[in-house]
Amino acid sequence: MRTADDRVEATPKRPNPGLLVAGAAVSALVLLPIVVTAANAEAAGWQLAVALLWRPLVGELLLNTLSLIACVTAACAIIGTAAAWAVERSDLPGRRLWGVLVVVPLAIPAFISSYAWLSLNSAFATFGGALLVVTMSYYPLVYLPVAAALREMDPALEETARALGNNTRAVFLRVVLPQLRPALLGGMLLVALNTLVEFGAFALLRFRTFTTAIYAAYQAGFSGAEPALLAMILITLCIVCLAAEHIVRGKAQYGRVARGTRRGAVRYRLGPWRAVAPAAFALLGLVSLAVPLGMITYWLTQPSAAATTVAASSLATLGQAAWTSVRLGVGGAALTMLLALPLGLLATRYNGWLIVLLERAAYLAQGAPGIVVALALISFTVHALRPLYQSTLLLLLAYAILFLPLALVSVRAALLQAQIRLEEAGRSLGLGWFAVMLRVTLPLAAPGLGAAAAMVFISVTTELTATLLLAPIGTQTLATQIWADTSTVAFAAAAPFAAAMAMMSMLASWLLARRFGATSVFSVTGEGAA
Amino acid sequence: MANLQITRLAKFFGKSPVLRDVSFSVAPGELVAILGASGSGKTTLLRLIAGFESVDGGEIRLNDEIIASQSVFKRPEQRGIGYVAQEGALFPHLSVADNITFGLGRAQRKARYRVAELLALAGLPAHYADRAPQQLSGGEQQRVALARALAPDPKLLLLDEPFSALDAGLRGETRAAVAEAIRAAGATAILVTHDQDEALSMGRRVGVLQHGTLVQMSPPEILYHHPVSAFVADFVGDAVFTPGLAGNGKVHCALGELCLAADNVAGPVKVMIRPEQIKINADSACGGVPAVIKHMTFYGHDAVVTLDVKGALQTEEVTARVFSHTMPRHSRAVWLQVEGNVVAYPAPVTVPGPETVSA
């Protein structure tokens, strides 16, 4: 995605010092949670750290987390690749419809589907249940890049392999699959990262992973040391995923050896499977979409008294929670964009090791999951910035830290749209730096920036963990309401909130996809939800 | 080595015919070039032979075995037909050596069977074996693609515009190397192209496809000097067309009385003369019909001279191609002579007008 030559090749000018300071401040801000967590962990001292980490609990967490990740990633790889191949490369009946349906689960947060499955049967609160819910939520992260790679592949390669004596299966194994490897691996690593940082779904399904254990340790009121130490392990795992993804992405772009016009992709006849394949897709749609949405609908029709209710749902509380979610979404998107812009400008307009460093730092922040960011911010404000504690601003800052890497990818792409020579033309016509920014750069980048803001908005409204921990007392969002109701098994009470959130997320994603293409939605959940 | 026989081949895309009634055969060891404009169906023809598409009529026989007809479809991987795609289509995830041995069995792949030999055949140094395709130039990629297609010893080799993506300098060089490699391998081959020079220089026979129909297939010199129609004449090279009146193996036109290559037409005709057949004399002593130079275009080794000739009814414009050192320099008034025989096509009687076409 990022290559050396999309950086400006023109003479490197000295960046505006104000911009540089702003960029440095933003990078420092997004790294703050990791630094605070590390400091808290360090404060425990060696002896305590070893005692806390060398426990069966940590082993169990590692085993749980890693085995789940292995299974989820493998399942997503198989389902995502098979679905992508069928949609892009076979004569599957109704493939356009299926192509849309398989992406929709991305718009339904995993903790909503886990609520739906759990309310269907509490037996889903197991490893198998967690595997099912997370796989169904994240397999589109494999589907989208693999489908794109299949679309881009030169059909002449497959034809040539046929002419060299390979049958369809051999062609897939020897030619198609090796070329899918970068897309497939990249997608699998995103799945692994998302599984690592997932909190809500696992908490509801009573499946113990690092995120839920950190939350439990925090709730138990231990000193900052235990959650911080667990968080450090989680951060390390996340950064391993990020680094692997970075390597895969950088290394793997085979590209096409040759360029030029070519025919559309080769489509294979499914033969006898043609009747079976739609049934498989229907099953996938049933499990990934129909059950979650169906269960929400079912509980909507049940009187909320049918379940013991903590937060009695009424139209008024629903409206209020939705309005709070929207307000926080808009605020979070605005703040994130404000912070992403200076970094984006630096990264696309100037060269130099300092700028590369600042940008890398911002991407590294993805290594801190929502729970880690929230706890770090709590600890930091309680100790150093008391007035910010329990404030809406702090919550917005948490959103900005969580979703800045996501926004930065799009901001960067958008700013590259506004070519530097157009800015130079503006300068030569007598406009100052700031005037050029206002009258040339921002208007040209506006659509892309809009998309970035929309993505952050969707991510914020469906975010659970940080909201739960940082929302000022009395602030209820859709996510916190669903959480409050489902954790007390008040499924019917949670239904209106879950329905509102699913509707909002799917509507916004649909608008985004219609305006900017399916891949834009991909990046939403690809890096965000936690 | 094998012979290929194509009989009354037809292919439709939806309802529109892409190929109609195409019949020809290729003898063992022969290289046949198929020349056609884009949309003429030439690539479709190749894909039918390779087995990437199924035929809608007629049949294809390889060594007397039917490999494709309406009822028979042999899978491409079972046909033993090599295929070199437009841009080589090297597998980007494999080294040059692995690309070349791709079509061989596992043991031979491991042993890098014939890699050095095939690289040499394709005119590439042996140390290219470990390079990635991305490190090769376009021409080198094409040569590797050829080596890869030849490695399993195919019965027939198909080349789909293999040089079209190369720039002019590289094209000639690669063309020569490929032609030599095919000759050395003794392969039977079909080359499809839209480039006249390529078809004429590489094919032992050249076929012209026009809107899905094979209008002529002949050795290159016959195709060039005796095209069966004005379309073919114009398509395979530059041509001057001028109206005339034919009879008794001769034709009268603005350029005088000329000999016909074949005495098969009489009455009003369209005369086809190649620009290089027209000789320009600087003075009347050498004979010829008078003409006036309008302008000249210099190309280095040769030059194209546009002239006005007084015809029976009106002034006609003709073009002559001369070696650049023989370009007339002193006077605009010159005399034209036509060397060799010309070809004439029956022309509907219409008002004769000037007609000069250069392809």
> Quick one: what percent of chain B has pLDDT higher than 90?
56
Segment A198-207 shows an average pLDDT of: 88
Q: pLDDT tens-digit profile of A234-271?
A: 899 998 988 888 888 766 555 444 444 456 667 788 77
| B230 found inside a domain | no
The tokens describing A102, both together, are 């398989």
d(CA A34, CA A400): 15
Query: Within an 8 Å CB–CB cutoff, is residue B152 touching chain A?
Result: yes
Quote the pLDDT of residue A406. Answer: 84
Please tell me the distance in Å from B91's CA to the nearest CA on chain A.
6
Query: Which H or E run includes B57?
Result: strand B57-62
Taking the CA of residue B135 and the nearest CA in chain A, the distance in Å comes to 9
ipTM confidence score: 0.73
Residue B19 has pLDDT above 90, yes or no: yes
State the pTM of this model: 0.77
Q: What is the pLDDT of residue A259?
A: 47
Tell me the chain B residues in contact with residue A257 when contact means C-beta distances shorter than 8 Å: 87-90, 92, 133-134, 141
Mean pLDDT of A16-30: 88
CB contact under 8 A, A164 and B80: no
Phi and psi angles of residue B18, each rounded to the nearest 5 degrees, phi first: -105, -35
Rounded Cα distance between B268 and B243, Å, is 7
Residue B216 tokens read as 């002529």
Q: Region B113-141: what's the mean pLDDT?
A: 90
Total domains in the fold of chain B: 2
- E strand or H helix that includes residue A309: none
Please give the radius of gyration of chain A, using alpha carbons only, rounded to the nearest integer.
Answer: 24
Judge whether B232 lies within some domain: no
What does the buried/exposed string (b/e) look like for B259-275 if buried means 16 or more CB atoms within 10 Å of the residue's CB? ebeeeebeebbbbbbbb
State whether B205 and B60 are in the same domain.
Answer: yes
Whether B87 sits inside 8 A of A258 (CB atoms) is yes
| Cβ–Cβ < 8 Å for A406, A456 | yes
| Structure confidence at residue B206 (pLDDT) | 96
C-alpha span between B146 and A65 (Å, rounded): 51
Chain B residues inside the 8 Å CB shell of A170: 77
**Block residue for tokens 């100052």:** A432
Q: Are residues B122 and B186 in the same domain?
A: yes
Contact A163 B134 (CB under 8 A): no
Domain edge (last residue) among B225, B260, B282: B225
Residues B208, B254: one domain?
A: no
Confidence bin at B358 (pLDDT 50/70/90): very low
pLDDT of residue A134: 93
Residues of A with Cβ-Cβ distance to B86 under 8 angstroms: 156, 258, 260, 262
For residues A287 and A136, the answer to whether their CB atoms sit within 8 Å is yes
CB pairs under 8 A between A and B: 91
**Among A157, A181, A255, beta carbon nearest to B89:** A157
Question: B103 vs A256: CB contact, 8 Å cut-off?
Answer: no
* Architecture per CATH, A10-253+285-527: Orthogonal Bundle (1.10)
pLDDT, mean of residues A185-213: 89
Residues B100 and B140 in one domain: yes
Which of B203, B225, B247 is a domain's end point? B225
Spatial separation of the C-alpha atoms in residues A36 and B121, rounded to whole Å: 66
The CATH number that applies at residue B291 is: 2.40.50.140
Domain ranges of chain A: 10-253+285-527
The CATH number linked to B95 is: 3.40.50.300
The pLDDT, as a whole number, for residue B20 is: 94
Asked if the model's pLDDT at residue B280 lies above 50, the reply is yes
Between A20-24, A76-80, A239-243, A481-485, the lowest mean confidence (pLDDT) is in: A481-485
B295, part of any domain: yes
Cβ neighbourhood burial of A29 (10 Å; 0-12, 13-18, 19+): middle
- Cβ–Cβ contact B74 with A under 8 A: no
Contact A12, A356 (CB under 8 A): no
Q: Looking at the predicted structure, is the pLDDT value of residue A517 above 70?
A: no
CB contact under 8 A, A255 and B82: no
Considering only CB atoms, A165 lies closest to which of B50, B91, B103, namely B103
Chain A hits for B161, Cβ within 8 Å: none
Mean pLDDT to the nearest integer, A511-521: 67
Q: Which residue has the higher pLDDT, B127 or A451?
A: B127
Instruction: With CB atoms and an 8 Å threshold, state whether A163 touches B75.
Output: no
The sheet carrying B333-338 orders its strands as: B278-281, B333-338, B289-298, B302-310, B315-323
Considering the domain architecture, whether residues B41 and B97 belong to the same structural domain is answered as yes
More confident residue, A50 or A322: A322
Please report the DSSP string for B11-28 in residue order: EEETTEEEEEEEEEEE-T
- pLDDT tens-digit series, residues B295-326: 899 998 899 999 999 877 788 899 999 998 88
Residue A212 has pLDDT above 60, yes or no: yes
Residue A6 has pLDDT above 50, yes or no: no
Contact B133 A256 (CB under 8 A): no
- Number of other residues whose CB lies within 10 A of the CB of residue B296: 16
pLDDT of A8 above 60: no
Predicted pLDDT of residue A9: 41
Contact A165 B90 (CB under 8 A): no
Shortest CA distance to A524 belongs to which of A444, A442, A453, A448?
A453
- Residue numbers in A near B48 (CB within 8 A): none
Q: What is the pLDDT of residue A222?
A: 61
Q: Is the dihedral of CA A71, A367, A214, A477 positive or negative?
A: negative
**Whole-angstrom distance, CA of residue B215 vs CA of residue B42:** 12
Residue B221: strand, helix, or coil: helix
Average pLDDT on A2-11 reads 41
Q: Is residue A521's pLDDT more than 90? A: no
Beta bridge partners of B304: B297, B321
Domain limits at B352?
A: 238-357
Predicted confidence band of residue B203 (pLDDT cuts 50, 70, 90): very high
Contact B88 A257 (CB under 8 A): yes
The confidence score (pLDDT) of residue A312 equals 52
Whole-number pLDDT of residue A519: 56
Chain B residues near residue A181 by CB distance under 8 angstroms: 93
Higher pLDDT, B97 or A433: B97
Q: Is A148 helix (H, G, I), strand (E, B) or coil?
A: helix
Task: Of A194, A142, A190, A512, give the one whose Cα is nearest residue A333.
Answer: A512
